[in-house]
């Protein structure tokens, strides 16, 4: 099945709710795995993940630890329809946009940044490193670090775009939910990933600055993928690790 249109995760979520209402998956039944759904709908696994989180937030499905995702037993008929599943921007789309805009913003900033602005970034990194166990403080310093870079471009429009993308982390329900999951998983901004960005800015090297920013934000995507991994995949990984340990033990015995 091929899904078309904007906000792909919404289209997938809407199609799944329609299938539930049509009886393809009855209340209490388990949904197919993430990989199977991605193949069926011809979309990426991150898109399926955003769709599943949107459906879970709306109460259409529920995650059961170590088992997977199941259709809830509530009556959907006459309730919220599939076309009401508008959660705006997901965290993956948001971070992809940040890679694009902030990658170019930092390259521009590398050309025009002042010593005073570099000193401000130094202080913000020191602030993040000083108390990395204080999550709200680290997040605030991280936010100000990225905005300071946007401000260093000297372009008010660029700063406004970067600020808007950061606001979406809170104002988009789906993105906020996904970042909250990452937070519960103990994932916080990585201070060490900010240092190469600052080093490139100090060297006034646009190419290195762009690459460092993109590496940092791709790390955010990796963190989100890990934090939002579906229960079925978590169980599969656990089973694989158990088998791997068992094989390793057997091989060790055989070589003794």
Global confidence as pTM: 0.65
pLDDT tens for 107-126 read 999 999 999 999 999 999 99
Q: Regarding the domain delimited by 8-84, which CATH topology (the fold level of the hierarchy) does it fall under?
A: Arc Repressor Mutant, subunit A (1.10.10)
State residue 70 phi and psi, 5-degree precision: -125, 150
Cβ neighbours, 10 Å, residue 29: 10
In the predicted model, what is the mean pLDDT of residues 229-252? 57
Top mean pLDDT of 19-28, 58-67, 94-103 is at 94-103
pLDDT tens for 40-89 read 999 988 888 888 888 888 888 888 766 788 898 755 444 454 445 556 78
The more confident residue out of 130 and 101 is 101
pLDDT of residue 209: 97
pLDDT of residue 104: 96
> Containing H/E element for 68?
strand 68-71
Task: Identify the architecture of domain 91-227 in CATH.
Answer: Up-down Bundle (1.20)
Cβ neighbours, 10 Å, residue 101: 17
Q: Where are the domains of the chain?
A: 8-84, 91-227
Q: The tokens 């990796």 sit on which residue? A: 222
Q: The tokens 């372009």 sit on which residue? A: 155
- Cα angle value 17/23/25 (rounded, 5°): 70
Question: In sequence order, which residues have a C-beta less than 8 Å from that of residue 222 and are 6 or more positions away?
Answer: none
pLDDT tens for 137-172 read 888 899 999 999 999 999 999 999 999 999 888 888
What DSSP designation does 145 have? Answer: H
How far apart are alpha carbons 93 and 15 in whole angstroms? 20
The closest of 170, 117, 163 to 143, measured between CA atoms, is 163
The string of DSSP codes covering 53-66 is HHHHHHTSEEEETT
């Amino acid at each position: 099945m091929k899904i078309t249109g904007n906000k792909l995760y919404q289209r997938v979520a809407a199609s799944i709710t329609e299938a539930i209402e049509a009886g393809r998956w009855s209340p209490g039944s388990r949904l197919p795995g993430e990989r199977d759904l991605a193949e069926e709908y011809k979309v990426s696994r991150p898109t399926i993940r955003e769709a599943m989180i949107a459906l879970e937030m709306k109460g259409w499905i529920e995650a059961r630890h170590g088992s997977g995702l199941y259709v809830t037993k509530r009556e959907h008929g006459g309730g919220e329809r599939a076309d009401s599943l508008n959660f705006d921007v997901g965290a993956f789309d948001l971070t992809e946009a940040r890679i694009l805009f902030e990658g170019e913003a930092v390259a521009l900033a590398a050309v025009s940044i002042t010593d005073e602005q570099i000193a401000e970034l130094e202080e913000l990194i020191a602030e993040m490193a000083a108390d990395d166990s204080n999550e709200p403080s680290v997040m605030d310093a991280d936010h100000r670090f990225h905005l300071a870079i946007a401000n260093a471009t000297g372009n008010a429009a660029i700063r406004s775009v970067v600020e808007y993308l950061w606001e979406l982390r809170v104002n988009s329900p789906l993105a906020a939910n996904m970042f909250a999951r990452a937070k519960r998983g103990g994932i916080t901004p990585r201070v060490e990933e900010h240092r190469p960005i600052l080093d490139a800015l100090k060297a006034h090297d646009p190419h290195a600055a762009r690459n460092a920013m993109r590496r940092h934000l791709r790390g955010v995507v990796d963190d989100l993928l890990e934090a939002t991994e579906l229960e079925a995949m978590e169980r599969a990984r656990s089973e694989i690790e158990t088998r791997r340990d068992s094989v390793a033990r057997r091989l060790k015995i055989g070589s003794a």
